[in-house]
Amino acid sequence: MRRSLQRYIAILRVVGILAILLVLGLVVYQLYDFYGERLGYTPVRAIQDYFAALSAGDYETIYQMTDRGRLTDIYGRPITKSEFIAQLRRLAGDEPFPFERVEAEKLCETRTHRYYRVTLYANVGGTAGRSQLFIELRKEGNSWLITYPFAIVL
Protein backbone atom coordinates (compact mmCIF):
# COMPACT_ATOMS: atom_id res chain seq x y z
CA MET A 1 0.00 0.00 0.00
CA ARG A 2 2.80 2.41 0.96
CA ARG A 3 4.64 1.62 -2.25
CA SER A 4 1.51 2.29 -4.31
CA LEU A 5 1.01 5.63 -2.57
CA GLN A 6 4.62 6.63 -3.25
CA ARG A 7 4.15 5.74 -6.91
CA TYR A 8 1.03 7.95 -7.17
CA ILE A 9 2.85 10.80 -5.47
CA ALA A 10 5.74 10.47 -7.94
CA ILE A 11 3.30 10.50 -10.86
CA LEU A 12 1.53 13.57 -9.44
CA ARG A 13 4.90 15.36 -9.09
CA VAL A 14 5.75 14.65 -12.72
CA VAL A 15 2.30 15.80 -13.85
CA GLY A 16 2.62 18.92 -11.69
CA ILE A 17 6.06 19.74 -13.12
CA LEU A 18 4.73 19.27 -16.67
CA ALA A 19 1.77 21.53 -15.91
CA ILE A 20 4.08 24.23 -14.53
CA LEU A 21 6.33 23.95 -17.60
CA LEU A 22 3.29 24.22 -19.87
CA VAL A 23 2.03 27.35 -18.09
CA LEU A 24 5.52 28.83 -18.15
CA GLY A 25 5.80 28.09 -21.87
CA LEU A 26 2.47 29.79 -22.54
CA VAL A 27 3.53 32.86 -20.57
CA VAL A 28 6.82 33.10 -22.48
CA TYR A 29 4.98 32.72 -25.81
CA GLN A 30 2.48 35.45 -24.86
CA LEU A 31 5.32 37.79 -23.87
CA TYR A 32 7.13 37.06 -27.14
CA ASP A 33 3.95 37.65 -29.15
CA PHE A 34 3.22 40.91 -27.31
CA TYR A 35 6.72 42.40 -27.43
CA GLY A 36 7.64 40.92 -30.82
CA GLU A 37 5.42 43.54 -32.45
CA ARG A 38 7.00 46.37 -30.46
CA LEU A 39 10.74 45.66 -30.31
CA GLY A 40 13.40 45.43 -32.99
CA TYR A 41 12.68 45.84 -36.67
CA THR A 42 8.95 45.25 -36.62
CA PRO A 43 6.52 44.97 -39.54
CA VAL A 44 5.09 48.39 -38.59
CA ARG A 45 8.55 49.94 -38.76
CA ALA A 46 9.08 48.28 -42.17
CA ILE A 47 5.80 49.74 -43.44
CA GLN A 48 6.72 53.20 -42.16
CA ASP A 49 10.18 52.94 -43.75
CA TYR A 50 8.65 51.79 -47.04
CA PHE A 51 6.31 54.76 -47.27
CA ALA A 52 8.98 57.18 -46.01
CA ALA A 53 11.19 56.00 -48.90
CA LEU A 54 8.27 56.43 -51.32
CA SER A 55 7.65 59.91 -49.94
CA ALA A 56 11.32 60.83 -50.38
CA GLY A 57 11.59 59.29 -53.85
CA ASP A 58 14.12 56.72 -52.60
CA TYR A 59 13.25 54.02 -55.13
CA GLU A 60 16.38 51.98 -54.36
CA THR A 61 15.12 51.41 -50.79
CA ILE A 62 11.66 50.54 -52.07
CA TYR A 63 13.20 47.97 -54.42
CA GLN A 64 15.27 46.48 -51.57
CA MET A 65 12.15 46.21 -49.39
CA THR A 66 10.03 44.52 -52.08
CA ASP A 67 9.82 40.74 -52.39
CA ARG A 68 11.64 39.83 -55.64
CA GLY A 69 9.50 36.74 -56.12
CA ARG A 70 6.46 38.97 -56.57
CA LEU A 71 8.11 41.32 -59.07
CA THR A 72 6.76 39.92 -62.32
CA ASP A 73 4.76 41.34 -65.19
CA ILE A 74 1.32 39.99 -66.08
CA TYR A 75 2.95 37.15 -68.06
CA GLY A 76 5.10 36.00 -65.14
CA ARG A 77 8.36 37.44 -66.49
CA PRO A 78 10.63 38.76 -63.70
CA ILE A 79 10.89 42.55 -63.56
CA THR A 80 14.39 43.99 -63.54
CA LYS A 81 15.49 46.59 -61.04
CA SER A 82 15.66 49.28 -63.73
CA GLU A 83 12.13 48.45 -64.93
CA PHE A 84 10.86 48.61 -61.35
CA ILE A 85 12.45 51.99 -60.68
CA ALA A 86 11.29 53.35 -64.06
CA GLN A 87 7.74 52.29 -63.23
CA LEU A 88 7.90 54.02 -59.84
CA ARG A 89 9.20 57.20 -61.51
CA ARG A 90 6.29 57.11 -63.99
CA LEU A 91 3.88 56.53 -61.12
CA ALA A 92 5.24 59.30 -58.91
CA GLY A 93 6.30 61.79 -61.55
CA ASP A 94 8.67 64.46 -60.33
CA GLU A 95 6.60 65.24 -57.25
CA PRO A 96 7.31 63.42 -53.99
CA PHE A 97 4.42 61.86 -52.11
CA PRO A 98 3.86 64.17 -49.14
CA PHE A 99 2.83 61.67 -46.45
CA GLU A 100 2.47 63.41 -43.11
CA ARG A 101 1.73 60.28 -41.13
CA VAL A 102 1.58 56.54 -41.75
CA GLU A 103 -0.49 54.33 -39.44
CA ALA A 104 -0.52 50.54 -39.62
CA GLU A 105 -3.08 48.28 -37.99
CA LYS A 106 -2.44 44.55 -37.87
CA LEU A 107 -5.30 42.57 -39.32
CA CYS A 108 -4.05 39.00 -39.18
CA GLU A 109 -1.04 36.78 -39.68
CA THR A 110 -0.12 33.38 -40.96
CA ARG A 111 3.00 31.39 -40.24
CA THR A 112 4.89 33.24 -42.98
CA HIS A 113 3.01 36.48 -43.67
CA ARG A 114 1.49 39.46 -41.85
CA TYR A 115 -1.38 41.59 -43.11
CA TYR A 116 -1.90 45.25 -42.20
CA ARG A 117 -4.37 48.01 -42.98
CA VAL A 118 -2.30 51.12 -43.66
CA THR A 119 -3.72 54.63 -43.42
CA LEU A 120 -1.74 57.34 -45.19
CA TYR A 121 -2.35 60.95 -44.20
CA ALA A 122 -1.33 63.69 -46.59
CA ASN A 123 -1.91 67.35 -47.28
CA VAL A 124 -2.13 67.84 -51.04
CA GLY A 125 -2.82 71.27 -52.46
CA GLY A 126 -3.79 72.59 -49.03
CA THR A 127 -6.41 69.88 -48.55
CA ALA A 128 -5.93 67.25 -45.87
CA GLY A 129 -6.80 63.73 -46.86
CA ARG A 130 -6.23 60.11 -46.09
CA SER A 131 -6.07 56.87 -48.00
CA GLN A 132 -6.22 53.29 -46.86
CA LEU A 133 -4.66 50.22 -48.39
CA PHE A 134 -3.76 46.71 -47.39
CA ILE A 135 -0.17 45.54 -47.09
CA GLU A 136 1.17 42.00 -47.01
CA LEU A 137 4.65 41.41 -45.54
CA ARG A 138 6.94 38.40 -45.38
CA LYS A 139 9.88 37.99 -43.04
CA GLU A 140 13.21 37.12 -44.63
CA GLY A 141 16.12 36.88 -42.26
CA ASN A 142 16.00 39.93 -40.00
CA SER A 143 14.03 42.10 -42.39
CA TRP A 144 10.46 42.37 -43.62
CA LEU A 145 9.67 42.42 -47.33
CA ILE A 146 6.56 43.98 -48.83
CA THR A 147 4.86 41.30 -50.91
CA TYR A 148 1.70 43.25 -51.74
CA PRO A 149 1.08 45.82 -53.15
CA PHE A 150 3.84 46.88 -55.45
CA ALA A 151 3.75 49.28 -58.37
CA ILE A 152 4.31 47.30 -61.54
CA VAL A 153 2.16 48.04 -64.58
CA LEU A 154 4.05 47.11 -67.75
Question: Residue 111: which CATH number?
Answer: 3.10.450.100
- How many domains are contained in the chain? 2
Question: Distance between CA 51 and CA 121 in Å, rounded?
Answer: 11
Note whether residue 153 is domain-resident. no
Same structural domain, 93 and 135: yes
My answer on whether 8 and 23 are in the same domain is yes
Assess whether 49 and 120 both reside in one domain: yes
Strand-by-strand arrangement of the 113-124 sheet: 99-109, 113-124, 127-140, 143-148
Asked whether residue 49 falls in the same domain as residue 6, the answer is no
| Residues 20 and 77 reside in one and the same domain | no
Query: Are residues 74 and 29 both part of a single domain?
Result: no
**In terms of residue numbers, what domain contains 58?**
41-148
**Residue 22 to residue 66: CA distance in whole angstroms:** 39
Q: Residues 29, 49: one domain?
A: no
* pLDDT per residue rounded down to tens, the chain (154 residues): 778 888 999 999 999 999 999 999 999 988 877 776 666 678 889 999 998 988 888 889 999 999 888 888 778 888 889 988 888 888 777 676 778 888 999 999 888 889 999 998 887 766 778 888 899 999 888 788 998 775 444 3
Residues 6+ apart with CB under 8 A from 68: 78
**Is the domain of 98 the same as that of 120?**
yes
Please tell me whether residues 4 and 70 are part of one structural domain. no
Task: Let me know whether 135 and 74 are in one domain.
Answer: yes
Tell me, yes or no, whether 67 lies in a domain: yes
Is the domain of 67 the same as that of 139? yes
CB 113 within 8 A of CB 137: yes
In a domain, 110, yes or no: yes
Instruction: Please indicate, yes or no, whether residues 19 and 56 belong to a single structural domain of this protein.
Output: no
pLDDT of residue 16: 94
Q: Which pLDDT score, from 0 to 100, does residue 151 have?
A: 45
